[in-house]
Amino acid sequence: MTLARRSTLRTRPTNGWNTAQTEGLGSVFGDFERLFGELASPAFSQTQWAQGYPVDLYETDEAVVLEMAVPGIAVNDLDISLEGRQLSIRGSLPEVDHDGRRYWLQTIPHGQFQRTVTLPINVESDKVQATVENGMLRLTLPKVAEAKARKITINAGK
């Protein structure tokens, strides 16, 4: 038995370069157009820059841990606050002097940013530990006693 793959390319006549009629190619151009439109728009603000600092949020038996990449940001330029289960991280990477520079690519976020994360459970706010090492912010947020997992023993019936 021989299997043959059929081409999925549409063969209808087109008027010019209509990339929407070529499978896959239209979405690539659409993605580029959307990206450049967002970068050029004045609405490209702090919230988009905050997404440039990746975050991992995970849970251990004893704590909730947040790790966030903050390369180039000094410890003094970070501000962390916890209100209920809302954890906010604010910071800034100082603007660089642009004299004489002609950028070919510029994706390093400069200026102010803020990122707010809702924690999945309550934590003991007075016992939070924060460290920065090699451009990685690590917050260890101990769980409140009620949120810690505990083993329940099962009594055998008669």
Q: Which pLDDT score, from 0 to 100, does residue 129 have?
A: 96
Mean per-residue pLDDT for 128-146?
A: 94
Average pLDDT of the chain, as a whole number: 77
Mean per-residue pLDDT for 136-152?
A: 86
Residue 66 pLDDT > 90, yes or no? yes
d(CA 73, CA 82): 20
pLDDT above 90 as % of the chain:
42
Give the residue, 28 or 84, on which the prediction is more confident. 84
Q: Which pLDDT score, from 0 to 100, does residue 32 have?
A: 63
Q: Which pLDDT score, from 0 to 100, does residue 120 have?
A: 93
DSSP designation for 17: -
Residue 8 pLDDT > 90, yes or no? no
pLDDT digits (tens, 9 = 90+) for 100-110: 888 898 888 88
Phi-psi region of 100 (alpha: psi -120 to 50; beta: other; left: phi over 0): left
- Give me the torsion for CA of 58, 63, 69, 73, rounded to 10°: 160
Q: Which amino acid is at 39?
A: L
Q: Which amino acid is at 33?
A: E
Would you call 143 exposed, middle or buried from its count of C-beta atoms within 10 A (0-12, 13-18, 19+)? buried
> Which band of pLDDT confidence, cut at 50, 70 and 90, is reported for residue 47?
very low
CA angle 82, 111, 72 (to 5 degrees): 80
Q: Which pLDDT score, from 0 to 100, does residue 154 have?
A: 82
- Count other Cβ atoms within 10 Å, centred on residue 151: 5
Residue 60 pLDDT > 90, yes or no? yes
Q: Which pLDDT score, from 0 to 100, does residue 23 have?
A: 56
Q: Which pLDDT score, from 0 to 100, does residue 36 have?
A: 59
Mean per-residue pLDDT for 108-134?
A: 92
Q: Are 113 and 90 in contact (CB under 8 A)?
A: yes
d(CA 77, CA 94): 9
d(CA 120, CA 64): 8
d(CA 121, CA 146): 10
d(CA 85, CA 123): 8
